[in-house]
Amino acid sequence: MTSYAIRSRREPPASSRWLAQQFPHRAWLIADLRGRISRAPAAIRPCGPEPDRFGQAMERTLALDLCGAPPYLQLIKQLPAAGMRRLLTTAGYAPIADTADGPWGKTTDHIPGARLFTVGSLLPYLDRAVYELRSANPDEARKAIQAVLRDRRAITAYATAARAARPAFAAFWASYMSGFHSALRGYGPVTASLSLLGGLRIVDFLAGTTIVEYKTGHFDEAHHLDALVEQALAYALLAPGSGHPVTAVALYLARYHVLARYPLDTFLARLAGQPIDSAEAGSRFATLVQAEQPAR
């Protein structure tokens, strides 16, 4: 997941140009991913009616399945207390301590996928609502969200969109449960939506010490895979400086039934064509990314 504005392809930002100069050998990784795709079962054909939102819903559904503590909690807390409780209990979480604002934890790993998708597909809508209300104070934002939740037309629209995405969800979930669920769990405890550089970059998942980038889209063109490699590379460089040790990078191309995991040292050295001081490279890259942000 990327939290910065998409820039013109004619003029890539300085941080992207620096990555291209320092890590120019991407062909090996693109070739490896293409080889894995060619050896995997046939790609999943169904698509959600809104591909981008469907991808976001699937990412959040996997997070609800994988995370021991509720993911996206700051977002979910925007709901009224009763709505927050209902959403979290639907996803299999319960309060750990008997306090009004105490921590929640997962009580079972046997929540049906369709039930998790009901929650996961709501979260992108909530995220969008919170984004649009970012200039409002917290109380005003909560009142606006509560008004939407009482709007029958809004509820009907959400239910219709979620129902239309069910066939695609069923195909992706079946693939995920065929072994990828266990593999991701095996990397270690999972954190979703990991913020780097104060939110300038957002990692889909950190599983143990493995960065995981999750994609549901098509990768028909080489530049699609090149963009994915750059995204994962950026996260791998920035995570340690944000206090998250990383030992590996994993790319989960769900539509193609591919989960490719690379040790970090190998990943960086192969892309650079030589051994890399990851701390120094990460610090340099972070400086470039921060310099690109508009003054506030």
User: What are the pLDDT digits (tens) for 233-292?
Assistant: 999 999 999 999 999 999 999 999 999 999 999 999 999 999 999 999 999 999 999 999
Measured between alpha carbons, how far is 58 from 64 in angstroms, rounded to an integer? 10
User: Helix, strand, or coil here: 73?
Assistant: helix
The mean pLDDT value of the chain amounts to 88
Measured between alpha carbons, how far is 152 from 34 in angstroms, rounded to an integer? 46
- pLDDT attached to residue 128: 80
Tens of pLDDT, residues 162-216: 889 999 999 999 999 999 999 999 999 999 999 999 989 999 999 999 999 999 9
- pLDDT attached to residue 109: 87
User: Helix, strand, or coil here: 79?
Assistant: coil
- pLDDT attached to residue 4: 38
Long-range contacts of 215-219 (CB under 8 A, 24+ apart): 215/55, 215/251, 215/252, 215/253, 215/254, 215/255, 216/51, 216/54, 216/55, 216/58, 216/59, 216/172, 216/254, 216/255, 217/51, 217/55, 217/255, 218/43, 218/255, 219/33, 219/37, 219/253, 219/255, 219/256
Q: What proportion of the chain, given as a percentage, has pLDDT over 90?
A: 68
Residue 222 backbone class (left: φ over 0; alpha: ψ -120 to 50; beta: rest): alpha
Helix 138-149 vs helix 152-164: crossing angle, to nearest 10 = 70
Give yes or no for residue 161 having a pLDDT over 50: yes
Long-range contacts of 69-75 (CB under 8 A, 24+ apart): 69/103, 69/104, 69/105, 69/106, 70/104, 71/191, 71/192, 71/193, 72/123, 72/127, 72/192, 72/193, 73/104, 75/123, 75/126, 75/127, 75/130
Give yes or no for residue 8 having a pLDDT over 60: no
**Do β-strands 93-95 and 248-253 pair in parallel, antiparallel, or remain unpaired?**
unpaired
H or E element at residue 204: strand 201-207
- pLDDT attached to residue 293: 85
The candidate with the shortest Cα–Cα distance to 229, out of 15, 33, 14, 40, is 33
Sheet with 190-196, strands from edge to edge, namely 190-196, 201-207, 210-215, 248-253, 258-263
Token code pair at residue 293: 């942000």
